[in-house]
Amino acid sequence: MGSRKTLQVLSLASFLVVLLFGLWLAVRELRFSFEHQVWIHYSTLPADDMALEKLLKKQPGVSKARVTRFDESIRIAYVMDQDIFLSKPPTIRIEAILETMGYSEKVAPTTERVEFYSGD
């Protein structure tokens, strides 16, 4: 009777190990998208924002990017796909990028918001 009990325990332990390994693999591949929105006000801006939008789209993890201008303010929205369980999400240093592209003389604090992205 003892060997039957041992076999049952070993079977259950093996099943649990396989189950946990499968869950670990599934979670490891689980990715979510977050929309980052940044509002910045500058007194000096380049003629257009196309170069900025193209550069944002090339950043690691970015799947969508859009730059909208309102007078001296710009709204930058980009979607980043990231694994929220096992790694730190990539970050983009927006203000550092803007400084190299001709945006200068910031006249108001930067406003940022991040939220779960559910699609267009």
24 and 77 part of one domain: no
Q: How many domains does the chain have?
A: 2
25 and 55 part of one domain: no
67 and 91 part of one domain: yes
Domain with residue 47: its CATH number is 3.30.70.100
Domain that holds residue 63: 32-116
Q: What is the mean pLDDT of residues 30-49?
A: 87
Residue 10 has pLDDT above 60, yes or no: yes
26: Cβ contacts below 8 Å, ≥ 6 apart:
none
21 and 53 part of one domain: no
User: pTM score, two decimals?
Assistant: 0.69
59: Cβ contacts below 8 Å, ≥ 6 apart:
65, 78, 90, 92
49 and 107 part of one domain: yes
Residue 86 has pLDDT above 60, yes or no: no
Distance CA 93, CA 112 (A): 12
Handedness of CA 103, 104, 108, 109 (dihedral sign): positive
